[in-house]
Structure 1
Amino acid sequence: MVEIKTPQQIAKMREAGLVVAAIHAATREAAVPGATTKDLDDVARKVIAEHGAKSNFLGYGGFPATICTSVNEVVVHGIPDTKTVLKDGDIISIDAGAIIDGWHADAAFTAFVGSGHAPELIELSRVTEESMWAGIAAVKSGNRLVDLSKAIEGYIRRQPRPASGKYGIIEDYGGHGIGSEMHMDPHLLNYVSRKRGKGPKLVPGFCIAIEPMVSLGTAKTHVLEDDWTVLTDDLTWSSHWEHSIAVTEEGPLVLTAPDGGRAKLAAMGITAAPDPLA
């Protein structure tokens, strides 16, 4: 069952989305050489408290932190700690969420620590982020879930191959419905699978988190003994981007973007929905 939200519920999700955007801004600034991933988690906790929100990561399935901090070959679900010290040249995916009055938002971005990053890492992040926006551009009433998968995979496949030879579209993890819970139906693959069919039709009130994960090598992953940390099998570095989006009568609303996705979508020839909080 896909949960369809009312405009009032979407407005609450937008409130939560702006908290997530604030977490992203604060942790991006704090992701500097010498900082620990626990330092970033402390920053996120402070932002959540300042906004009167709740964390939807802390305690989720036993997860012990407020954000996920996934460095280099860690794809997703890295646990913040005091031992992981960021170094010049690292990349880190910061995944954060928030709850306002029972309604959720969830988003992630890849940050560059320090300077001197290899061009292929910069391109990896760009390709991953732009594939997310390609998926967002397909979020419109009447489309099917598979249209998002096609858009994401299609964008990645059209890009020039990196020096490593290929981009790996991570297979075991993807996007998800979001609303009164953080993870809900439907599951969104970042590639097209004939076994999955077309998926549900997008209608106003449909909300989805789009989150491509792409590596410089394999699409295969494994989980460490902590039952959370996900690494690429070949230890190639990866990028992860995510936004939560709502389908409305007026178009897509990017719940976790500070401007609701207006500027980026306009550059793609798409009109974003009005911000319900404006």
Structure 2
Amino acid sequence: MDNTEALEAIRKTIKEGKNEDAGPQIMELASRNQDDPMTLLTCASMLLTIGDDKDFQAIIPVIMSHVPEEDDSKYQVVQGLISLGCLKDAGKILSDMPASDKVHRARAAVFHGTNRYEDALASLGAMSELTEPDRVLKVQVLGSMGKHDKAIALAQEILSGSTSYRAGRCYISALVLAGRTKEAAKYAKERLKEKTADGYALMAFYQWLDGNTTAGGAFSSKALKLENKHLGALETIGLCFAEKGSYWEAKIAAGAINEIEPGSPAVFRILAVCKDN
């Protein structure tokens, strides 16, 4: 059985809920590919998905001992490690990489995730051009530093040029973190009038942030009826299910996200709430 066939077999096992069988399958695949960091990253992602922390922790050092020399391949490993939450490991690789926008972007993500906010801002400031996701990260960094006025101003600037779900979620997050929940609710209600998947998903996100998991789940469902692969709505409904103790439904949402975007950090955020359940 080649790697493609093995991966398909493992995904089928996980989809059927047979995690106790999936673990040995994953480790068998990993043992046959110890010098292939990308395959090992896929194995690590699947181990996190089934909640096998012990074997997950065993795979990461193997990945770190087989980091490619070529910068593009090295960067792919960095991205994989960041998505898995292995920020310190990613940071070790990045420390030896030549500066470029994508390297600064990855460093900023690592610094933000490890609470090194000034370093995160410096990395973003070193970039020649900031994309929307980069600017959203800057809003998050500023908010984490307690610089709420600057965070909200930048979020508004992003919104002036984009009506994306990402931009709207960024604005709502910045307002709620600053304690300006009434303004966040007002914006969510305005977007709700659109009766679009993004509009419903943004209201769902606001309701979840406000602690109303029932409403958050309901608005997520409305978004998914219009766009069944809406990642934001899937993440919110997964988090709402998990926080209500409906772990099976939460894991189904996480699985749906993983089918659309394998290794998405949203999967692991949901599973973290489901941990040990």
Q: TM-score, normalised by structure 1?
A: 0.24
Higher relative contact order (CA 8 A, sep 6+): 1
| Higher strand content, 1 or 2 | 1
Query: Which of the pair has more CA radius of gyration?
Result: 2
